Amino acid sequence: MSNIAPLNIAIVGAGICGLGASLALARKGHKVTIFERDVPPPPGGADEAFFDWDRKGAGQFRHPHAFLGLMCNILRDNYPELLTDFEAAGARRVGFELMLPPEMAANYVPEPGDEDLWVLMCRRAVMETVLRAYTERQGNITIKSGQTVTGLIGEGTPVNVTGLQLGDEEVSFDIVVDCSGRTTKFPGWLRYRGAVIEVEDDDAEIVYFTRHYKVKPGQVEPAPGGKERGAGDLGYLKYGVFPGENGHFAIILCVPTPEVALRKAVNDPVQFDAICHAIPGTRDWVDPDLAEPTTDSFGFGDIRAVWRHYVNGEDVEGWDSRVPVATNFFAIGDAAVRTNPLYGRGCSTGMLHAHILADILEEEADPIQRALILDQRTEDQLRPIFKASLDEDRAGIKRSAALMNGEDLARPHSLKAWFAMSFGDAMAGAALSEIHVIRGFMRTFHLLEKPGDFLKDKRIRNTILRYMLRGRSRNASARIVNGPDRAGMLAVIADEGIKRAAE
């Protein structure tokens, strides 16, 4: 047990990260007040929240979400009643066995650890309303909706934060936690007080578009594990199907920003569906006999990898020059570390970040040390995930640019490129046929270990090497995602445009 007295903590932002942080801190005995600029969810259920909630503070509110294994396990191990609430609201649990190819699933034998490889899927409206209702039932958490934070109270170097500005009102707190997401205003307020905040900022150069649907009464959605993949990368376009709760599902189409014609097309609901009909992995889902759309298509942009440094200096060979930007202030989730939402890691990393902070506040009383420890643990636990996401962004930018220039992505241009492509094909091929390989890959996917750590397993490495020796042609089927090439897809949207012009 900690002998550190309970703290009076302010959290700014009542999104998934802010609500999760409030639970992590409240369970340690702290008093938590959440300030949220948006109004509360409307009365009713998930549909009312999805269609009617004016959620300006979360631009991604109506885009698909899923909780990866990291977050699911945190919920299971710490908040079992909350997990029960999600399931009661219709959130679907997809376990490891349902992620296996059909031929592998037929002979599946569970092993210890498989229970950690699962996802929880539902619309974000369900995620937020269920999480918020559970949070509101906790005795030491208060949510103040419709409250816009207009500044912070603090001075000195580093800035010693002592509270928040709410218009003309000043409210004092022991700790302020920024969970206000990617549009956070706290860096500007701190810089105004002389703080220097270094930022890593890389544009993913994509825009993604979503359309929601619902399975019609009496119909059954396509079975998982079919021949065609429900998610894939065509080089010029990425796509994914997100099954949700109670027959709802969404499809996302991610387009590189230079692809002007495609970007224009996916923003049109008729063209969006035409593109989905052209992709085998989404075709059955948009069959008008199966499902009907519940929204138009709509986009989400400004997708970037951002890392804000709230500690300056470094610790090198015993010489520690690190100094925090502020004390008694902590930024977590997207307000500090932001990755491409296409990879679905933000909710999980935000929840992990929140629990890291809660542990530090319990372990350490010194404000300077708290800031330094959070910075170090954030580097240790989130940097590998951030780097992997950034690497994927950069690889995607290169692939799409090569396709626009008419290059053949299957043809390597150097020995290094040949080896990388051969290794990637072999790993993909092994993951479709060897369950120990897919187990390792899934541990990375679910953020249960550092990206790529499964390759330290000698058995997995030997298996991938064996697949490499088969040759790239035998592994190609694991890499190839069925769908039209770029020219073919541009022809699809051109044909659809001609049809509409003729009507």
CATH code for position 243: 3.30.70
- Position 413 scores a pLDDT of 79
Instruction: Please check whether residues 41 and 130 belong to one and the same domain.
Output: yes
* pLDDT tens-digit readout, 154-189: 999 999 999 999 999 999 999 999 999 999 999 999
CA distance 25 to 142: 13
Residue range 13-23: average pLDDT?
Answer: 97
Label residue 172 left, alpha or beta by phi (over 0 means left) and psi (-120 to 50 means alpha): beta
- What distances in angstroms separate CA 45 from CA 50, 91, 92, 245, one per listed residue? 9, 13, 17, 12
Nearest to 213 by CA among 298, 285, 266, 267: 285
pLDDT at 229 over 70: yes
> Dihedrals φ, ψ of 453, to 5°?
-60, -25
Instruction: Please check whether residues 38 and 184 belong to one and the same domain.
Output: yes
> Dihedrals φ, ψ of 333, to 5°?
70, -150
User: Is there a domain that residue 393 lies in?
Assistant: no
pLDDT at 1 over 60: no
* pLDDT tens-digit readout, 435-475: 999 999 999 999 999 999 999 999 999 999 999 988 887 88
pLDDT at 502 over 70: no
Instruction: Please check whether residues 192 and 210 belong to one and the same domain.
Output: no
pLDDT at 228 over 60: yes
Last residue of a domain, one of 302, 328, 350: 302
Encoded amino acid at 362, one letter: E
* pLDDT tens-digit readout, 274-325: 999 999 999 999 999 999 999 999 999 899 999 999 999 877 677 778 899 9
Instruction: Please check whether residues 245 and 321 belong to one and the same domain.
Output: no
The two three-digit tokens of residue 260, written as one number: 């002007």
Q: Which long-range contacts (CB under 8 A, 24 or more apart) does 491-495 make?
A: 492/274, 492/275, 492/278, 493/261, 493/262, 493/265, 493/271, 493/274, 493/275
Burial of 74 (0-12, 13-18, 19+ CB in 10 A): buried
Instruction: Please check whether residues 332 and 361 belong to one and the same domain.
Output: yes
Output 141 or 497, whichever has higher pLDDT. 141
Q: Return the sign of the alpha-carbon dihedral for residues 484, 487, 493, 499.
A: negative
CA distance 451 to 377: 16
- Position 497 scores a pLDDT of 67
Instruction: Please check whether residues 226 and 136 belong to one and the same domain.
Output: no
Query: Helix or strand or coil: residue 227?
Result: coil
User: Is there a domain that residue 108 lies in?
Assistant: no
- Position 145 scores a pLDDT of 96
User: Is there a domain that residue 376 lies in?
Assistant: yes
CA distance 189 to 191: 6
> Dihedrals φ, ψ of 335, to 5°?
-65, -20
Last residue of a domain, one of 286, 302, 318: 302
- Position 30 scores a pLDDT of 98
* pLDDT tens-digit readout, 32-75: 999 999 999 998 888 898 898 888 877 788 888 899 999 999 99
CB 256 within 8 Å of CB 400: yes
Number of domains into which the chain is organized: 2
pLDDT at 142 over 70: yes
User: Is there a domain that residue 442 lies in?
Assistant: no
User: Is there a domain that residue 148 lies in?
Assistant: yes
Instruction: Please check whether residues 295 and 209 belong to one and the same domain.
Output: yes
Instruction: Please check whether residues 136 and 194 belong to one and the same domain.
Output: yes
Nearest to 119 by CA among 243, 20, 208, 281: 243
Q: Which domain holds residue 255?
A: 205-302
How would you list the strands of the sheet with 119-121, edge to edge?
66-67, 119-121, 92-94
Residue range 7-26: average pLDDT?
Answer: 98
Point out the least confidently predicted range of 111-115, 155-159, 316-320, 343-347. 316-320
pLDDT at 334 over 60: yes
- Position 104 scores a pLDDT of 87
User: Is there a domain that residue 258 lies in?
Assistant: yes
Last residue of a domain, one of 281, 302, 323: 302
- Position 498 scores a pLDDT of 65
* pLDDT tens-digit readout, 249-272: 999 999 999 999 999 999 999 999
User: Is there a domain that residue 259 lies in?
Assistant: yes
Whole-number average pLDDT of the chain: 92
Residue with tokens 């990898």: 305
User: Is there a domain that residue 314 lies in?
Assistant: yes
